[in-house]
Amino acid sequence: MYDVIVIGAGPCGLSVAIECKKRGLTPLVIEKGCLANSIYHFPLYMEFFSTPEMIEIGGMPFTTWGRKPGRTEALKYYLSVARRYQLDIHTFEKVIQIKRGSGQFVVSTQWRDEHRSYVAAHVVVATGYYDSPKQMKIPGESLSKVYHYFREAHPFTGLEVTVIGGRNSAIDAALELQQVGANVTMVYRRSAFTSSVKAWIRPIIESAISKGQIKMLWDTEVERISMDEVEVCQAGERISLKNDVVFAMTGYKPQLQLLQGVGAAIDAETGAPVLNEETMESTIPGLYVAGVIVGGDDTSRIFIENGRFHGEKIAAHISTKQD
């Protein structure tokens, strides 16, 4: 029997486990992918918006070569933190269900072809949202040439590429693709970039658009994707774009199935778990929520910078119960 089972081995989940261990609790972390799985699937050359000290966990300094850390540096850092605290982490093991019993929880998982069960006094759901891209629900979205994630630009040299979206992930993808010689068209439903665009990236993308290096279609919706075209609508006019590859950088949604399955309340308007923000406990006693999933549909409200502090609140509350 564990004191705490943490579902998710991202920075926020790891922070929960660390804070619990500091207080003498016995945590188990279960992760369906690899450690820091979301970061692992980020673009290869991605640079974080945050400076390193803003995404540190466990009180361990994060030293980087530049002012802002990259993907590889972050992976090495979070691995070193997990090793430093000797966290018990089960990777590539998927949690299927949480059941609430008498004063305890039973967490059911699948590892390869094996079904496992664990018992814990408390459970923390820190599953994030990066594995659940928002679907556009248009014809052709399921074609093999449509990607909801961007890794690197090299394979797409010389191709006709449509990037859907206008936030940081879409802009980063468009710039990298243009630099390797792809013919890039960005399609964005808004009339301008929002204030959330990285300050150092905005002048670069605006320059590329003004010079015609990247074609930009503002106030435009994608209606259909075929093997050689993308059909869009701009101000009532339908336009067909020659196309080889689509990157649908349309955002992601929280994974709430485990919480809903055990009966935790979800706010119908925001899609956020209903919880006590002082303790991060859900409407189910002993069941907590940490990390970006706390923000529900507003995926820009919680990120590593503020989500990493959820662990302290959760561990402190659990310790009070233990006393």
Q: Which pLDDT tens digits describe the chain residue by residue (323 residues)?
A: 899 999 999 999 999 999 999 999 999 999 999 999 999 999 998 888 889 999 999 999 999 988 889 999 999 999 999 999 999 999 999 999 999 988 899 999 999 999 999 999 999 999 988 888 899 999 999 999 999 999 999 999 999 999 999 999 999 999 999 999 999 999 999 999 998 888 889 999 999 999 999 999 999 999 999 999 999 999 899 999 999 999 999 988 888 999 999 999 999 999 999 999 999 999 999 999 999 999 998 877 888 999 999 999 999 999 998 76
- Alpha helix ranges (H) inside 168-228: 168-179, 202-210
pTM over 0.75, yes/no? yes
Tokens representing 254 are 């929280």
The CA distance from 289 to 124, in Å, is 5
The CA distance from 218 to 194, in Å, is 12
Asked if residue 303 lies in contact with residue 137, where contact means CB atoms within 8 angstroms, the answer is no
Residue 110 pairs with which residues in a beta bridge?
A: 94, 115
Please name which of 87, 32, 31 lies closest in space to residue 57, comparing C-alpha atoms: 87
The CA distance from 135 to 312, in Å, is 34
The CA distance from 236 to 112, in Å, is 50
